[in-house]
Amino acid sequence: MSHQLSDEEQALVEAVREFTQEVVAPVSARHDAEHSFPYEVISQMGEMGLFGLPVPEEYGGQGGDYFALCLALEELAKVDQSVAITLEAGVSLGAMPLLRYGTEEQKQRWLPALAAGEQLAGFGLTESEAGSDAGGTRTTARLEDGHWVINGTKEFITNSGTDITSLVTVTAVTGETTRDDGSVKKEISTILVPADTPGFTAEPAYNKVGWNASDTHPLTFDDVRVPEENLLGVRGRGYANFLGILDEGRIAIAALATGAAQGCVDEVVRYARERHTFGNPIASYQAVSFKIARMQARAHTARLAYYDAAARMRAGLPFKTEAAIAKLVAGEAAMDNARDATQVFGGYGFMNEFVVSRHYRDSKILEIGEGTTEVQLMLIARSLGLDS
């Protein structure tokens, strides 16, 4: 399997890299410190077509594939994980459920603005007692006079409260069935909720450890009424469908994490050459150079893992296990590299204006979000026929 990029893919990487250095990097520290959403950056990303990379041209996209999105995410995350996760969630959790499971009418209505980056969408899955165990969903939706009436709460929903958020796709219990053994199985469906629907509230944003320029809110649904045709996909298949969306999303998150890991390497190589102690650049000391070598090995391994999962996805082959491996390896690489980069930077690594300090705060969520490290290990173990 070749991991060489095509001329078109390489051109995309170079374009995003230039954009990241010229547009994203100069404002990253300010938005992080202010906990402000970078609307101007997101707008320019939309103009570049980044939000439409894997969306067909008929819906306003670029007609590319998921791997193209991953390449863009890796470059963005080298400098600013908040910007990268806004793109990742906007596409993988916002647009892709519509593209995969939406009706033609739903696609035509929502996808063009999402693909253009003019609007953002979120996916309301997680609840206070339903995260890794998403089957524990308590939010409900009942049919009443041709409308779904939704009640419940969601937690940690990305892109859910911006000025350009257009909708949130919500998982909700729409019924129950009794198994032969007497146990009850929840029927979980997904429903599109426009952001301006009465009763739908994006509560005040979280005060997070990292990803400070990313938009994340708890959501409340109080007798929210949306038309019956806002059901996304087949009734009762919402949970199963979203598991498929998560498999794809793990490749994208792995690409983002790889970018974070590589970004730490790039920063620490530059610093180690410039920083002198005892009359020598610290890069000349084996303790430092070996630490950086291990960092590069982690980033390289993470890249190979997500390239492989993306190649399997592109070829139509099973990729669930490979996506879990990529997410596991890349998330740990990002966190380990952030720790080591901060150590090499010393006191400067503890100052928020430096990229490595932001990576140190940002990277921990890469071992938690869109499936914890433990969930990835569970999936990998199951693929080996182990009980876990």
For residue range 299-308, what is the model confidence (pLDDT) as tens digits?
Answer: 999 999 999 9
**pLDDT of residue 359 exceeding 60:** yes
Q: What is the pLDDT of residue 18?
A: 98
For residue range 108-130, what is the model confidence (pLDDT) as tens digits?
Answer: 999 999 999 999 999 999 998 87
Mean pLDDT of 354-376: 95
**pLDDT of residue 354 exceeding 60:** yes
Mean pLDDT of 142-148: 97
Q: Which of 9, 104, 370, 374 is catalytic?
A: 370
**pLDDT of residue 134 exceeding 70:** no
For residue range 176-189, what is the model confidence (pLDDT) as tens digits?
Answer: 877 767 777 889 99
At 337, which helix (H) or strand (E)?
helix 320-345
pTM of the model: 0.95
Mean pLDDT of 20-39: 97
**pLDDT of residue 240 exceeding 90:** no
Nearest-angstrom CA–CA distance, 265 and 340: 9
Biggest alpha carbon distance in the chain?
A: 79
Nearest-angstrom CA–CA distance, 49 and 62: 7
Mean pLDDT of 97-106: 97
Nearest-angstrom CA–CA distance, 266 and 274: 13
Other beta carbons within 10 Å of 179: 8
Two structure tokens written together for 365: 């969520």
Q: What domains are there in the chain, each with its CATH number?
A: 7-120 (1.10.540.10), 122-236 (2.40.110.10), 240-383 (1.20.140.10)
Instruction: Estimate the crossing angle of helix 286-314 against helix 238-274, to 10 degrees.
Output: 150
For residue range 280-292, what is the model confidence (pLDDT) as tens digits?
Answer: 999 999 999 999 9
Contacts of 198 (CB under 8 A, 6+ apart): 224, 225
Known catalytic residue: 322? no
C-alpha distances in Å from residue 382, one per residue of 91, 158, 309, 372, 387: 28, 29, 18, 15, 6
